[in-house]
């Protein structure tokens, strides 16, 4: 059974898009090559679209609707897939994290999960009023292990606001341990941690945390939000977010300066 055969159109709007692309293609007796000519891509990419490993963009949706006379079906599906909350987005994003070759993370208020100590994570979960803290903590640590615990872990590039470093989360001892962990991780050649000092003023990241996951053939992103987030699979929007990351990075201190700041803050705790 192929990945396309396992797609459940009821699981998410993106899965519905993938399912319907295959359904309409087969209904018309078309090959992947023929569909590729309609949406300007190669057959292998059509296979990825039908398997849910990639998603059509709006130009491709328009081309399908025009060629197949579907009355705007694919355009509407794509619009709502992008704009409505999908409870499956977080699970999908964690799967992408585990496969990413490069992980770019911007975080403003808290230390991102891949870099958290167990004590810090427990403090965050407790303050978030999570019902089963230990269960959530196990999940968070397992997620971390899949990212930085494996030998072939991705290149991790992190931008942190100073607020995430000097906010006393969980108390002085917890914060001191967390900052020490950042210094330890920053010694790895595959981990880059840079800080945007408060004196840098406004920057694009103040709109909210996000991360970009570079996979083998494409980038996807996850925009964080309280009680949920949004998975970005549209290539154009993911590229825009990569530009935002670079613009935020332009406001950040160097790795050496960031390390010095973290050391100074750790002494204060």
In tens, the pLDDT along 213-222 reads 998 888 989 8
Alpha-carbon distances, residue 103 vs 119, 162, 210, 214 (angstroms): 24, 20, 11, 6
Place of tokens 């694919």: 74
Q: What confidence tens digit (pLDDT) does each residue in 198-208 have?
A: 988 888 788 88
Q: Which tens digit of pLDDT belongs to each residue from 6-15? A: 788 877 788 8
Q: Could you give the CA distance from residue 82 to residue 51 in angstroms, rounded to a whole number?
A: 18
Residue 161 structure tokens:
């606001």
pLDDT, average across residues 146-169: 91
150 DSSP 8-state letter: S
Question: Can you give the pLDDT at residue 227?
Answer: 60
pLDDT at 87 over 80: no
**How many whole angstroms separate alpha carbon 236 and alpha carbon 13?**
19
Torsion angle in degrees (nearest 10) through CA of 111, 233, 190, 186: -10
pLDDT of residue 99: 87
End-to-end CA distance of the chain: 56
**Is pLDDT of 266 > 80?**
yes
pLDDT band at residue 96 under the 50/70/90 scheme: confident
Q: Is the pLDDT of residue 86 over 70?
A: no
Q: What percent of the chain has pLDDT over 70?
A: 95
Q: What angle do CA 238, 97, 108 make, to 5 degrees?
A: 70
The tokens describing 228, both together, are 């949920």
pTM beyond 0.75, yes or no:
no
The strand pair at 228-232 and 191-196 is best described as unpaired
**Alpha helices (H) in 84-213, listed in sequence order:** 89-99, 118-127, 133-144, 163-166, 172-186
pLDDT of 201? 84
Interatomic CA distance for residues 77 and 74, integer angstroms: 5
Q: What is the pLDDT of residue 254?
A: 96
Indicate the range of 105-114, 121-130, 199-208, 251-260 predicted with least confidence. Answer: 199-208
* Segment 19-54, tens digit of pLDDT: 999 999 999 999 999 999 999 999 999 998 998 888
Q: Could you tell me if 112 and 105 are in contact, meaning their C-beta atoms sit under 8 angstroms apart?
A: yes
How much is the average pLDDT of 185-195? Answer: 95
For residue 114, the number of C-alpha atoms closer than 13 Å in the C-beta half-sphere is 28
**Dihedral angle sign, alpha carbons of residues 111, 113, 118, 121:** positive
């Amino acid at each position: 059974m192929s990945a396309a055969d396992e797609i459940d159109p009821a699981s998410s709007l993106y899965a519905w898009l993938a399912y319907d692309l295959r359904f309409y293609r087969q209904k018309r007796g078309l090959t992947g090559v023929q569909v590729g000519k309609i949406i300007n891509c190669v057959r292998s990419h059509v296979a990825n679209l039908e398997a849910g490993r990639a998603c059509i963009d709006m130009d491709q949706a328009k081309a399908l609707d025009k060629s197949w006379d579907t009355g705007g079906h694919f355009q509407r599906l794509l619009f709502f897939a992008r704009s409505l909350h999908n409870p499956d987005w977080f699970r999908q994003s964690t799967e992408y994290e585990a496969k990413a070759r490069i992980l770019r993370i911007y975080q403003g208020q808290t230390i991102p999960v891949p870099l958290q100590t167990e004590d810090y994570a427990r403090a965050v979960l407790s303050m978030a009023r999570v019902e089963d803290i230990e269960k959530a903590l196990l999940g968070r640590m397992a997620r971390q292990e899949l990212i930085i615990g494996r030998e072939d872990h991705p290149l991790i590039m992190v931008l942190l606001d100073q607020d995430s470093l000097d906010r006393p989360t969980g108390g002085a001892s917890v914060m001191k341990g967390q900052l020490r962990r950042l210094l330890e991780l920053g010694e790895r050649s595959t981990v880059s941690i840079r800080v945007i000092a408060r004196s840098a003023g406004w920057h694009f990241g103040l709109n909210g945390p996000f991360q970009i996951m570079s996979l083998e053939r494409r980038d996807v992103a996850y925009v964080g939000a309280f009680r949920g987030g949004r998975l970005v699979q549209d290539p154009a929007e993911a590229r825009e977010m990569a530009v935002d990351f670079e613009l935020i990075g332009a406001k950040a201190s160097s790795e050496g300066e960031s390390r010095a700041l973290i050391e100074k803050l750790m002494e204060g705790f």
